[in-house]
Each structure stands twice: as structure tokens, then as C-alpha cells.
Structure 1
Amino acid sequence: MTASKGTRLSALFWAFTRIGLLGFGGGPAMIPLIQQEVVKRHGWLDNDEFADILAIGNTLPGPIATKMPGYIGYRVAGLAGCAAAVIAVILPMILAMVALLGLFTRYRDVAWIRGMGQAVVPVVMVMMAQLTLDFWNKSRLALGWIVSLIMASVAGVLIYVIGIHPGWIIGGLLAAALLRPSSSGKEASR
């Protein structure tokens, strides 16, 4: 193993350990933390690559909190990177769950214990709002604000009113994009 691969493995492990330690609220709440580490802090991906991985990861079964680290780890350092990232993100969660659930069960009637759980909710909400704003800006620049607003509204109705799973909607959009004739193909036929 080269020193650079060992350095990448170490960086992956500690980046995803931080995510595992600070990712209160489950997988969706971890997404902004993953973006912060892999795009902004380490530069392993750019925002477009991150958005693509997030979209594809949401269409696949299983928790996003392990799918994204697994793929990102693989991209950065191969199979060893995949294993390092997944282990790093789940190990703190497993240890914290065992310890905290034991403490919570024992002290659940103490007011400050109840307050801790309630205090995390607004922080996760702000993190999700920041991620939403980032994706809104990306969509607005790529598609325009009207198309972005229409697509977001239609997706909201399909998900929240009709009850369609978001994976089906993302999968449908990916299929439509793949099946759409390319503009270069139209120009070549002229």
C-alpha cells in the first residue's frame, strides 16, 4: 500500500467517523455533513458529483447513511476505502446507540434528558434547509427557476399527497433523462 493510499484511507476513516459521531437524526440528517466533508473539506467530489450520488443513492434500497459512504470510500480509495468509510460511519452509531439507549431507558423521566432530544430537532432542520437551498440554487441555475419550481411542486404532490416513494420519482426522472434524445444527435441528423 502506498503512502498516499494510506493517507486517503486515514482521511476517509476520520471524515466518516466525524459524520457518524455528529449525524444526529439518521441518514437524511447526515447528508449535509457528508457534503461538508467530501465536497467542501476534502474536495473528493464536486457538488454535481455529490448530487448525482445522492440521487442514485436515494433510488436504491437501504439506508443512505451507509450507501453514500460506501460509494464515496470506493471512489477515493477502492475496496479498502469502501470498508473504511462504512465502518467509520456505523461504528460510532452502534456504540452511541448501545450507550445512550441504556442511559435513556434508565433516566427517561429526567427533564434535561427529554430536552436534549428536543433540542437536536431545530439544528437538524437548519442543516436540511441549507442542503435544500444548495440544491435549489443548483437546480435553478441548470433548469431555471420556473422549471425547478414546477418540478419541485409536482414531486411534492406525488410524494406527500399521492404517497409515491421518492425513489420511484427519482428513478423515473433518471430514466427520462437517459431516454431523452440528445441535442447533439438532433443537430447531427440535420
Structure 2
Amino acid sequence: MHVRKITEGPMMANCYVVYDDNKNGFLIDPVYPGGKIENYIDKNKINIGFILLTHTHFDHVLGLDYFKNKLNVKVYASEDSKDIANDPDYNLSRGYCDLDLKIDFYLKDGEVFSEYKIKAIKTPGHSLDSMSYKVEDDIFSGDTLFNLSIGRSDFPGGNFNTLINSIKNKIFIYDDDTKIHPGHGESTSIAFEKENNPFLI
């Protein structure tokens, strides 16, 4: 699978376009419809089949309605998003914007889905509905694990101990050479974070 990171929006969040050699694939976190994401998809003639959400904080879903309608696709998120996705205190949109997130399918921990055999991994701690996705040798960690850092745990539904447990017992169980693609910043690997992340060594 090919992975293209595109950083957009006021919080400089990462969207990922993931696709195979036949130019079929999916979006992870449609962060903002500023032009770069849609231009990349159109220029490379990629057929997007669905959208995945790592969590429903506003900076990761500002483009959801736009891309869902533009691409005419379904949206997947954690089953824990069901009751909080449109709560402005949980999605952090209060006083910033109005969100009406439309999610079609809710995923359970460990569920493997789609023709790409994506594994859904519940990784709470940053938010109640944080979900990481493993695709081949890549993990898309949202705001759970960053390059040399971890996600904030002081938002509603966040918990520091839960976050550390998610990283160590749900992500670090995979091969050291597994690539980590976070919701902000640069990509990394499990091996690098085990050896260098100050929150985890």
C-alpha cells in the first residue's frame, strides 16, 4: 500500500491517502477541505472507497462532510464515537464551529474489515473514541502516539494512564519495524519510539 500524508487546517493535522497499485484506496481523517487533499486525489486519479476516523476531535474531521459528499463514500469510526461524536465538549468544537458528523459504520476492537484487511485497534486515553488502524506494516495512530511524544490526556474523556497502557499494550505489541503515522507531525516506527520517546522509556 502507498501512504501519502497531507497536512491541512488550522491545527496542522494529518490526513492520509492510502491506496494500492491499482489506485484504489481510502482516506484517514479528512482534516480540512483546503485543496491539497482533493487535488492529490484528483491529480493521481485515486478511487477512494471509504473514510476512516481515528477519533472525532474537530481538527481531524473538519473536512468530513465535504469529502463524504464529494466522494460519495461511507465513514467508519470506533463504536465509542456513537454517543460523543457530535457532543461539542467531546469533539472540542464548542465556541469554534458547528459539527454534524455522519458516521455509517462503528468498529469494535480487533475487528478486521475491508478488502485491505484493516485491523481496528481501540487506543483510548487521548479521547474516549481513539482508534488506531493497522494496515500491513503501517499503524495510523491518530493522536495516541506521536514521533517522540504522546497525545494530550487532559481533554474530556482523556486519561494519562489509559493512554500509556494503549500505547504499550495495544501498539507496541507489533513488530519493531512497524511504521507509525500520527495525527500530527512526522511518521516514526515502534522501534524508534521504544528507544527514544521520553514518555515511554
| TM-score, scaled relative to structure 1 | 0.24
Higher relative contact order (CA 8 A, sep 6+): 1
Larger Cα Rg: Structure 1 or Structure 2? 1
Indicate the structure with greater helix content: 1
| TM-score, scaled relative to structure 2 | 0.23
Indicate the structure with greater strand content: 2
